[in-house]
Every structure is written in C-alpha cells, then in structure tokens.
Amino acid sequence: MDTYQKIMVAIDLSGESEAVLQKARLIAAPNADIHLVYVQEPMDNIYVGIVPQSAAFSGLGDLEARLADEIKQKLSALGEEFNLPIENLHILHGSPATEIHRFANQHQVQLIVIGSHGRKGLQLLLGSTANAVLHGSGCDVLSVRVGATS
C-alpha cells in the first residue's frame, strides 16, 4: 500500500487555498497526480431569494462572466505556484458537493482535500461544503482546518 497517488484539491480561491494545497502536497506520494478544482456555483443558485428572478436581473450574466475570468486567473496563478500542469486545473459549474463527487468518480481520485472552516456563523456555512463532500464520498477525504482562531 502506497500513499495517495491521485489527489483532488477542491478550493474556494480564498486566501486559505494555499494552505489547503500545501497540506495536499505534504501527504501526496512524490509523483502524485494533483488536480486543482474550483466549482463555480451559478449566481442565481447562491442568491436565490435575494435576486427575485435572475433572468430579469440585468447585468447578472455579465458579472458572472467577469467572475469566471477572475477565477481562471487566480486558479492559473495557484497552479503555477505549485507547479501543476495546466490540464490539472479545472473549473466546474454547479453545486460544489455534487460536482466534487462527480469529478472524483470520473477521475478515480483516491483522496479529496478540502478546506473546512471551524468557526461559527458565516464560516460555519462555508464549512458545510466539507460536510456535504464527506457525506457519500466514494474515496477518502482530508478536511484541512482553515481560518482557525485558536
């Protein structure tokens, strides 16, 4: 039994993504195949109830496109910093836990590494993605505690 050869690092592109990626590197096999994944959630998913009808809310589509550019740049910078080949950087669209599971299954990933926020309030909400990923995952999951105040 060897350590993890195929790893998927799911990040939210916050400042803490580097710490999550670093942990993945630490426990990966020397020549492990590390994939960096960001899941872009449709804005009308996130703001359902706030944006009454997304189609009627002019400018939302444009904003989403600009966001996509920003995400691409941030992901590329992170990939460069950690020497990951460009084909190992992925932007997916949909619900984070669902897309992460789908990707892990399709690529026969052995370990999913994800940041987990331990705080309360908003941070707890963010941390719920880690919980959702763990639930029903077909492979091992390393939840890296980020933003720890203790």
Determine contact, residues 5/29, Cβ cutoff 8 Å. Answer: yes
- Residue 71 within binding range of a copy of itself, rule CB under 8 A: no
- Residue type for position 75: L
B/e letters for 4-38, b = 16+ CB within 10 Å, e = fewer, are: bebbbbbbbbeebbebbbebbeeebeeebbbbbbb
Per rule CB under 8 A, is residue 51 in the interface with a copy of itself?
no
129 binds a copy of itself (CB under 8 A): no
Q: Minimum distance from CB of 61 to a copy of itself (Å)?
A: 36
Phi, psi for residue 42 in degrees, rounded to 5: -55, 135
CB 97 within 8 A of CB 130: no
Stretch that binds a copy of itself, among 32-40, 81-89, 92-100, 125-133 (CB under 8 A): 125-133
**Which residues are paired to 93 by β-bridges?**
40
Report in angstroms how near the CB of residue 126 gets to a copy of itself at its nearest.
Answer: 13
Among 14, 54, 88, 131, binds a copy of itself (CB under 8 A): 131
Q: What track of x and - describes contact with a copy of itself for positions 27 through 46 (by CB under 8 A)?
A: x-------------------
- Site residues for a copy of itself per CB under 8 A: 1-4, 22-23, 26-27, 116, 118, 127, 130-131, 134-145, 148, 150
